[in-house]
Amino acid sequence: MDRQDRLKALGLWPVWRLRGAAMAEPEAAPPEDPPSAVREPTASPPAPATPPSPVSGLDLDALGAAVESCGRCPLARTRTRGVPGVGDPKAEWLFIGEAPGADEDRLGEPFVGQAGKLLDAMMAGIGLQRGRNVYIANILKSRPPGNRDPKPEEVAACLPYLERQIDLIRPKLIVVLGRIAAQTLLVSDTPIGKLRGHVHQYRGVPMVVTYHPAYLLRNPADKAKAWEDLVLARQTMAGLKSGAAS
């Protein structure tokens, strides 16, 4: 049986053919589009270098002189004196307030007058003394007129001074005094009542928040809460020292 007979037996004969062609050739597949050229990723332009702080190379003495002559914001025109900070240049404790008041503006030293006396008493309660292992500073180095709240541009102008002080002193612990100082350093609008009772961090340094002495003079009932904050600060410092010793 030849091939034709076998196809007939299977019911496959006659073989279907396309009209007009004994054997249709398959259509050639359309040519593929040439592969698109692989484009090398465009290199992003390098990020602009952050300009160095104008006080990045100053020591504490030069920093104080720079504060005294600073004209980076309009407060320079209304202040009596710049108020850099005062204390032990190798202090383990750094206390930071908001801004100088009238007495500080007159004397050029932070936390004098009645608020300063209360701060001295608060420090004495945990075994500290002004000038001995303690440095005191403010975020603003010039007094805002009428003791108003600092403006953002004033904070931005003064903050490099404080940051340089922290870098030079290298404190083990920061105690922040008052709502505005705490919210400024933590970049937060959380009420001070919720910031208290926790150990925060600023520039890699543990930080405890408490009330400003001037506020406590007006609200003596909150002195008990401030004492709790100071106890937390003392416990935190003890833990830092024991951890370093182990």
User: Of 17-21, 114-118, 173-177, where does mean pLDDT reach its minimum?
Assistant: 17-21
* pLDDT surpasses 60 at 135: yes
Question: Across all residues in the chain, what is the average pLDDT?
Answer: 85
pLDDT in tens, 137-156: 999 999 999 999 999 999 99
Could you tell me the CA-to-CA distances from 17 to 24, 25, 169, 231 in Å, in that order? 8, 11, 97, 101
Report DSSP letters for 139-183, one per residue. S-SSPPGGGPPPPHHHHHHHHHHHHHHHHHH--SEEEEESHHHHH
**Quick check: bond before 14 cis, omega within 30?**
yes
Half-sphere CA count of 246, side-chain side, radius 13 A = 6
pLDDT of residue 8: 56
Q: Quick one: pLDDT band at residue 56, thresholds 50, 70, 90?
A: confident
Who wins on pLDDT, 214 or 24? Answer: 214
For residues 134 and 149, give the distance between their C-alpha atoms in angstroms, rounded to a whole number: 26
The span from the CA of 124 to the CA of 64, in Å, is 26
pLDDT at 153: 95
CA separation for the pair 137, 162 (Å, rounded): 8
Give the model's pLDDT for residue 245.
73
Among 41-45, 73-77, 157-161, the range scoring the smallest mean pLDDT is 41-45
Residue carrying structure tokens 């180095």: 141
pLDDT higher than threshold 90 for residue 39: no
Residue 98 corresponds to which amino acid?
Answer: E
Model-level pTM?
0.78
Q: What is the pLDDT of residue 23?
A: 42
Q: Which domains does the chain have, with CATH numbers?
A: 60-241 (3.40.470.10)
80 in Cβ contact with 105 (< 8 Å): yes
Q: What is the pLDDT of residue 20?
A: 42
Cα–Cα distance measured from residue 218 to residue 231, given in angstroms and rounded to the nearest whole number: 22
Per-residue pLDDT of 61-107, as tens digits, reads 999 999 999 999 999 999 999 999 999 999 999 999 999 999 999 99
- On the question of pLDDT at 14 being above 60, the answer is no
